[in-house]
Amino acid sequence: MTNFSLISKMMSDDYVGFTFFVGCMAMMAASAFFFLSLNQFDKKWRTSVLVSGLITFIAAVHYFYMKEYWAEVGESPTFFRYVDWILTVPLMCLEFYLILKVAGAKTNLLWKMVVLSVIMLVTGYLGETVYADQAALWGGISGLAYFVIVYEIWLGSAAKLAKNAGGNVLAAHKILCWFVLVGWAIYPLGYMLGTDGWYTSILGKGSVDIAYNIADAINKIGFGLVIYNLAVQSQKD
Ligand SMILES: *C/C=C(C)/C=C/C=C(C)/C=C/C1=C(C)CCCC1(C)C
């Protein structure tokens, strides 16, 4: 049962709880926006915009649970967080594949990206939970997988496909590359903030959640809007 007095108390003096609440609303609004726009697109672009909506919708449901968990338990909802990511990050990899299909992207690009993202997230989860005393080691492995993803889209085969596609697809691919390089880099920073004995004393408990919540809003909604804009522009010409 939802305890409303607890939630209203939370809202007034708890910045972490506040970002969970606003994050939940923002993800819901973005999902409604993407889903309701679907009719305006032809088949070629509809799947990409649908996936944008699924990403923010899955996040909205997880944020609903995470804000409750934070309010009731008062701890980082690490498990829900990683379940959210393990569903949504592969879908973001799928978006790269979907927009590059016009240039002949093969499913092996999709699988490569999905496997790398799963490695990144599973090792990150182990470092945050089961093997928290070896956070640096697991974070390092996770970081390597992250770098390979960055390499693949900036300089690897995905970059070449984007160049071949040119035009709107190339422009959108470039922006998505910046999301992954800069927006996604907030997560390892959050991980370090949350690792005991590193910076927890400076910023206190919950700082990791504020970092993750801000990053999620930028990366899931912003990323989706880039895809939406690509679909709108491509249908114009
Ligand atoms: C919507 C959610 C997204 C885009 C989540 C992305 C998460 C990451 C890029 C996480 C990366 C991590 C590292 C590179 C090292 C430390 C552990 C992680 C999992 C926080």
Q: Whose CA is nearest to atom 8 of ligand 1?
A: 187
Helix count and strand count (H, E) for the chain:
12, 0
Q: Which ligand 1 atom minimizes the distance to the CA of 82? A: 19
Q: Which ligand 1 atom minimizes the distance to the CA of 142? A: 15
**Looking at the 3D structure of the chain, how many domains does it have?**
1
pLDDT tens-digit readout, 184-215: 999 999 898 877 767 665 666 778 899 999 99
Distances 55 to 37, 131, 148, 222 between C-alpha atoms, Å? 15, 29, 22, 11
Query: With contact defined as beta carbons under 8 Å apart, do 67 and 24 qualify?
Result: yes
Q: Whose CA is nearest to atom 17 of ligand 1?
A: 124
Residue 3 has pLDDT above 80, yes or no: no
Q: Which pLDDT score is estimated for 201?
A: 56
Q: Whose CA is nearest to atom 19 of ligand 1?
A: 124
Q: Which pLDDT score is estimated for 210?
A: 92
> Exposure of 13 by Cβ count < 10 A (0-12 exposed, 13-18 middle, 19+ buried)?
exposed
pLDDT tens-digit readout, 146-187: 999 999 999 999 999 999 999 999 999 999 999 999 999 999
- Residue 150: give its domain's CATH number: 1.20.1070.10
Q: In which domain, by residue range, is 228 found?
A: 2-236
Instruction: Give the residue, out of 52, 81, 187, with the most ligand 1 atoms within 8 A of its beta carbon, to mutate for a pocket test.
Output: 187
